[in-house]
């Protein structure tokens, strides 16, 4: 195992070299090339401009031929290499000089420092998104595989395909435009991941009086309890009808909350609300019904209780953060969970018809045990492959989301770096994302051995 | 007693029939078909000048004098394909392709020699008496060109669909106007050209690259395979979007550059497919026979091996078109796309950058991107189900 690990790690080096080389040659070959143009103001007098360009060229070594620039950059980032003396000449060879990602031209700060600020933000987004993606995808994928060919399977397949095809930018723009603009519903903040006031707040929220908290909890509890009770009702059509009435009320309330009177909203929203909730109420599958209606009931209860709360409520840092992250996380998770649900479905289907599953059923095991103890475990392999690609792909996915919601994470940084032709930043981001991908592949290969003992690498 | 039914149907026919079976695919084909019509006839569907007008007894066609070489080439391509498809001539694929290329080349050469469309078009001229006071004229269905900013109406700016201001001036904007005052529907129709052409050309480029690299990898295996796989790994380890961004930011973004860039950044998936397929095929008897009879390499690779490994590639290509369209839209959305030509992503970007949220600038272009991507995904899905019946929705045998 250890030799395998060593070999894989060593094989990473040429790939990483290749990645940076591809990106560096794109930069070097392009018209204009890497240069200090972006920092130099075009309004300057020619001699001033020349002096400044020369200064930057000298400082960052931009006046040297491209291969030399690349080699110097490589020497800087590799933990062993040549060290420079004060005059900039390469003198000694050192094994302990450490990595140095260089200094960004555009920001004029060390790249490590900038990355240190940006990575936690993107990581936070992804850590919140990944569990949501997996839970939703597994629930839907397993259900549609076990009920293959039924109405649920066909309709969920259509919905998943549609969700998968919705461009992230369209979803983001619509969410931002409708739910955080003053023209429609100003429920969520427009930009960033925390408001300026949140820096002075306490971590947890606090209220004017204890009774207000009680009201909130009471509202939530009553709402959830009512909704769950409704969702467990045996009579199907009555259940769907009552849920539909609730949806109608919610739709009317939403139309009423709209910033301006709009006939369209008054017509469409109640119908939409009624249709969605009646659909959830009509569903055969109990967990979905309970969770769907329960979430709806809890939200409705809280909103209802909020009407009776006095002033003196301070959101606190935590709630402020959550409030800012609702829309971006929603936007990131919808498309990805749809794609994953389809993969889970097809991988389960292959195993549900396998001989060992039939044997297990023939032994007299109930369907639940067959599904979760036998079939699901064997269907995990493709899921693991997805995990490997998930980390870098979410990094790329959050590029659009971060741009729309003005979150200063890695995605925004990547766009800024590329637009300002910042050699050091572009190379560092490339290198980092390539490294993450390769590490992801490696982790996936090890997870294979854990899940499936037949896979060995010795 | 089971009766054995031997199907007389050719494989390609059966696949086609099964693919076209569902209603989802029919919807998808309908949408893409109408997009193609929009793209081909864009100058006749949405333009500021009259199609035909009769003035003092003489009939003129103002729209024809403003046709560009690209417009003509697109028209010629459309009609050549239509003719070759409908005409009862049974040429081989090669002859068809040669005819097609010859016709397009001839049209492009002739058009660039004889066609001299005016460089600068002042669209407001078409609303002056020399074009309006005529005996009779036929206007396009949408009488606004995509770059017609309606200045003669006095700076219209953003207007909601069917707004009262427009109605007062006897203008009709079914999808409103954008921030400079141009008609959104007209821009959408002209932008469908960009979406369709980028999807097709970028996917063809990446498929050709993928087939050549993957085919060589699979056929030779060994050291070629090792090196090739490293190359594939390199391209896969950089997130595609980031690679695209880098390419576009450094190379600029003309339409043709963008096609090439999207093609060059997305070939790795096809290479993987073809490599896996060719690794299986290269030990087959018929390939060995082809090698033994001394056929040249390109003949073995493309005539004998490729047709047997191409089916899964077509599924991937259908999804590839969808992702190429999405890539272009994303780049335009991030402000790195085409500058003067309207594109759906760029219009979506306008809805974010303007001070207020204007739903028609987000819903219509975004909806068009969504429907197009959805249509290609549906086609890909149906095709995959036709090839691999294990996973299809209908459990029984068809």
Q: Which pLDDT band, with edges at 50, 70 and 90, does B390 fall under? A: low
- Mean pLDDT value across residues B248-272: 87
For residue B59, the SS3 value is strand
| Predicted pLDDT of residue B211 | 92
| Predicted pLDDT of residue B315 | 87
- Give the Cα separation of B343 and B349 in Å (integer): 10
- The answer to whether B251 contacts A177, with C-beta atoms less than 8 Å apart, is no
Of the listed ranges A43-47, A267-271, B262-266, the least confidently predicted one is: A43-47
| Predicted pLDDT of residue B354 | 78
Compare A389 and A114 and report the one with higher pLDDT.
A114
Q: Using a CB-CB distance cutoff of 8 angstroms, which residues of chain B are in contact with residue A432? A: none
Q: Which pLDDT band, with edges at 50, 70 and 90, does B166 fall under? A: confident
- Mean pLDDT value across residues B169-180: 83
Smallest Cα distance from A241 to chain B, Å: 30
Query: Searching chain A, which residue's CA lies closest to the CA of residue B251?
Result: A30
The DSSP H or E segment spanning B58 is strand B58-60
| Predicted pLDDT of residue B398 | 36
Q: Name the maximum alpha-carbon separation found in chain A.
A: 88
Smallest Cα distance from B6 to chain A, Å: 26
Q: Which pLDDT band, with edges at 50, 70 and 90, does A88 fall under? A: low
For B237, the closest of A15, A31, A418 (CB atoms) is: A15
- The answer to whether B366 contacts A392, with C-beta atoms less than 8 Å apart, is no
| Predicted pLDDT of residue B395 | 44
- Mean pLDDT value across residues B197-220: 92
Residue with tokens 């690299």: B213
In the predicted structure, residue A38 carries a pLDDT above the cut 70: no
- The answer to whether A157 contacts B393, with C-beta atoms less than 8 Å apart, is yes
Residue with tokens 């084909």: B29
Compare A342 and B90 and report the one with higher pLDDT.
A342
Cα distances (angstroms) measured from residue B251 to each of A412, B318, B345: 20, 27, 19
Of the listed ranges A219-228, B315-324, B333-342, the least confidently predicted one is: B333-342
| Predicted pLDDT of residue B271 | 92
- Give the Cα separation of B5 and B2 in Å (integer): 9
In the predicted structure, residue A389 carries a pLDDT above the cut 50: yes
Q: Is A316 left (phi over 0), alpha (psi -120 to 50) or beta?
A: left
Q: Which pLDDT band, with edges at 50, 70 and 90, does A312 fall under? A: low
Query: Searching chain B, which residue's CA lies closest to the CA of residue A171?
Result: B366
- Give the Cα separation of B332 and B344 in Å (integer): 8
Cβ burial of A235 (10 Å; 0-12, 13-18, 19+) is: exposed
Compare A202 and B79 and report the one with higher pLDDT.
B79
Q: Using a CB-CB distance cutoff of 8 angstroms, which residues of chain A are in contact with residue B239? A: 392-393, 395-396, 433, 437
The first and second tokens of residue A376, run together, are 């699901």
Domain ranges of chain B: 192-394
Q: Which of B24, B28, B158, B234 to mutate to test the interface with A (most CBs of A within 10 A)?
A: B234
| Predicted pLDDT of residue A397 | 64
The answer to whether the beta carbons of residues A98 and A52 sit under 8 Å apart is no
- The answer to whether B250 contacts A170, with C-beta atoms less than 8 Å apart, is no
C-alpha of A409 from chain center? 12
The DSSP H or E segment spanning B136 is strand B136-138
Of chain B, the percentage scoring pLDDT greater than 70 comes to 95
Q: Which pLDDT band, with edges at 50, 70 and 90, does B142 fall under? A: confident
Helix axes A380-404, A410-419, angle to 10 degrees: 60
In the predicted structure, residue B392 carries a pLDDT above the cut 60: no
In the predicted structure, residue A87 carries a pLDDT above the cut 70: no
SS percent in chain B: helix, strand, coil, step 5: 65, 5, 30
Average pLDDT score over chain A: 82
| Predicted pLDDT of residue B397 | 40
Tell me the per-residue pLDDT of A420-437, one tens digit each, with 9 for 90 and over.
Answer: 888 888 888 888 888 888
- The answer to whether A153 contacts B351, with C-beta atoms less than 8 Å apart, is no
Q: Concatenate the DSSP letters of all residues of B248-310 into one string.
A: HHHH---HHHHHHHHHHHS-HHHHHHHHHHHHHHTTSHHHHHHHHTT--HHIIIIIIIHHHH-
Tell me the per-residue pLDDT of B280-337, one tens digit each, with 9 for 90 and over.
Answer: 888 889 999 999 999 998 888 888 888 887 878 888 899 999 999 999 998 888 888 8
Residues 6+ apart with CB under 8 A from B248: B257, B258, B261, B331, B336, B337
Q: Which long-range contacts (CB under 8 A, 24 or more apart) does A85-89 make?
A: none
- The answer to whether B366 contacts A167, with C-beta atoms less than 8 Å apart, is yes
Q: Using a CB-CB distance cutoff of 8 angstroms, which residues of chain A are in contact with residue B390? A: 349-350
Compare B232 and A151 and report the one with higher pLDDT.
B232
Q: Structurally, what CATH architecture does the domain formed by B192-394 represent?
A: Orthogonal Bundle (1.10)
- Give the Cα separation of A203 and A205 in Å (integer): 7
Q: Which of B22, B229, B232, B239 to mutate to test the interface with A (most CBs of A within 10 A)?
A: B239
The first and second tokens of residue B189, run together, are 């129709």
In the predicted structure, residue A300 carries a pLDDT above the cut 80: yes
Q: Which pLDDT band, with edges at 50, 70 and 90, does A77 fall under? A: confident
First to last CA, chain A: 6
Predicted ipTM? Answer: 0.84
For A418, the closest of B249, B356, B381 (CB atoms) is: B249
Strand boundaries in A77-128, DSSP class E? 81-84, 90-94
Q: Using a CB-CB distance cutoff of 8 angstroms, which residues of chain B are in contact with residue A30? A: 250-251
Q: Which pLDDT band, with edges at 50, 70 and 90, does A313 fall under? A: low
- Give the Cα separation of B327 and B333 in Å (integer): 10
| Predicted pLDDT of residue A85 | 67
Q: Concatenate the DSSP letters of all residues of A349-394 into one string.
A: HHHHTSHHHHHHHHTT--HHHIIIIIIHHHTHHHHHHHHHHHHHHH
In the predicted structure, residue A53 carries a pLDDT above the cut 70: yes
> Taking the model in full, what pTM does it have?
0.87
């Amino acid at each position: 195992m250890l030799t395998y690990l060593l070999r894989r790690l060593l094989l990473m080096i040429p790939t990483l070299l290749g990645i940076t080389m591809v990106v560096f040659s794109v930069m070097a070959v392009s018209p204009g090339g890497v240069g200090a143009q972006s920092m130099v103001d075009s309004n300057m007098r020619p001699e001033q401009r020349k002096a400044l360009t020369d200064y930057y060229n000298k400082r960052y070594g931009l006046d040297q031929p491209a291969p030399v620039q690349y080699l110097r950059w490589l020497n800087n980032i590799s933990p062993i290499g040549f060290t420079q003396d004060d005059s900039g000449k390469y003198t000694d060879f050192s094994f302990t000089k450490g990595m140095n990602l260089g200094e960004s031209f555009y920001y004029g700060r060390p790249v490590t420092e900038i990355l240190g600020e940006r990575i936690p933000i993107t990581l936070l987004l992804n850590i919140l998104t990944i569990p949501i993606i997996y839970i939703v995808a597994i629930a839907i994928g397993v259900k549609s595989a076990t009920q293959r060919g039924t109405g649920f399977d066909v309709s969920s397949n259509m919905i998943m395909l549609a969700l998968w095809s919705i461009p992230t930018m369209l979803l983001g723009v619509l969410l931002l435009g409708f739910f955080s603009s003053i023209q429609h519903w100003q429920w969520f903040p427009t930009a960033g991941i925390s408001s300026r006031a949140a820096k002075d707040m306490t971590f947890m929220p606090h209220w004017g009086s204890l009774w207000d908290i009680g009201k909130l909890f009471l509202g939530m509890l009553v709402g959830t309890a009512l909704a769950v009770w409704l969702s467990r009702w045996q009579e199907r059509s009555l259940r769907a009808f009552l849920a539909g009435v609730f949806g109608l009320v919610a739709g009317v309330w939403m139309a009423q909350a709209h910033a301006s009177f709009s006939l369209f909203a008054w017509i469409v929203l109640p119908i939409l609300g009624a249709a969605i909730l009646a659909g959830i109420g009509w569903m055969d599958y109990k967990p979905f019904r309970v969770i769907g209606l329960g979430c709806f009931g809890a939200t409705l209860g809280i909103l209802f209780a909020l009407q009776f709360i006095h002033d003196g409520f301070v959101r606190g840092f935590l709630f402020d953060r959550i409030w800012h992250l609702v829309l971006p996380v929603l936007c990131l998770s919808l498309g990805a969970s749809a794609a994953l649900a389809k993969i889970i479905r097809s991988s389960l289907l292959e195993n549900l018809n396998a001989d060992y599953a039939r044997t297990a059923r023939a032994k007299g095991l109930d369907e639940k045990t067959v599904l979760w103890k036998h079939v699901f475990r064997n269907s995990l392999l493709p899921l693991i492959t997805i995990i490997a690609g998930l980390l870098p792909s979410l990094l790329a996915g959050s590029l659009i989301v971060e741009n729309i919601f003005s979150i200063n994470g890695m995605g925004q940084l990547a766009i800024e770096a590329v637009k300002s032709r910042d050699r050091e930043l572009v190379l560092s981001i490339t290198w980092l994302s390539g490294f993450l991908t390769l590490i992801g592949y490696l982790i996936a290969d090890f997870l294979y051995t854990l899940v499936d003992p037949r896979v060995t690498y010795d | 007693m089971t009766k054995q039914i031997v199907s007389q149907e050719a494989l390609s026919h059966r696949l086609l029939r099964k693919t076209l079976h569902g209603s989802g695919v029919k919807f998808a084909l309908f949408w893409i078909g109408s997009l193609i019509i929009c793209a081909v006839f864009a100058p006749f569907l949405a333009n500021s000048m009259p199609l035909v007008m009769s003035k003092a007894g003489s009939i003129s066609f103002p729209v024809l004098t403003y046709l560009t070489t690209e417009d003509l080439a697109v028209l010629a391509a459309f009609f050549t394909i239509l003719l070759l498809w409908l005409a009862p001539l049974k040429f081989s694929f090669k002859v068809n392709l040669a005819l097609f290329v010859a016709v397009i080349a001839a049209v492009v050469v002739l058009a660039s020699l004889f066609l001299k469309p005016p460089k600068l078009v002042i669209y407001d001229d078409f609303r002056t008496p020399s074009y309006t006071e005529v005996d009779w004229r036929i206007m396009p269905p949408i009488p606004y060109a995509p770059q017609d900013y309606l200045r003669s109406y006095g700076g219209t700016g953003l207007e909601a669909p069917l707004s009262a201001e427009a109605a007062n001036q006897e203008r009709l904007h079914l999808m409103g106007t954008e921030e400079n005052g141009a008609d959104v529907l007209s821009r959408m129709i002209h932008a469908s050209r960009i979406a369709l052409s980028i999807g097709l050309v970028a996917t063809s480029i990446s498929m050709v690259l993928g087939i050549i690299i993957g085919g060589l990898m699979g056929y030779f295996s060994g050291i070629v395979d090792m090196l090739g796989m490293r190359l594939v790994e390199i391209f896969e380890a950089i997130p595609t979007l980031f690679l695209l961004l880098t390419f576009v930011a450094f190379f600029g973004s003309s339409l043709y550059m963008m096609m090439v860039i999207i093609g060059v950044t997305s070939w790795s998936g096809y290479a993987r497919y073809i490599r896996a397929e060719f690794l299986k095929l290269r030990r087959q008897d018929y390939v060995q026979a082809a090698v033994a009879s001394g056929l040249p390499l390109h003949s073995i690779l493309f005539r004998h091996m490729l047709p047997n490994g191409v089916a899964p590639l077509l599924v991937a290509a259908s999804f590839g078109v969808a992702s190429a369209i999405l890539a272009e839209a994303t780049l335009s959305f991030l402000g790195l796309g085409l500058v003067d030509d309207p594109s759906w992503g760029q219009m979506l970007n306008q809805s974010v950058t303007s001070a207020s949220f204007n739903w028609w600038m987000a819903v219509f272009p975004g909806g068009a991107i969504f429907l197009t991507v959805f249509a290609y995904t549906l086609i890909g899905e149906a095709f995959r189900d036709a090839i691999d019946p294990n996973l299809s929705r209908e459990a029984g045998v068809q």
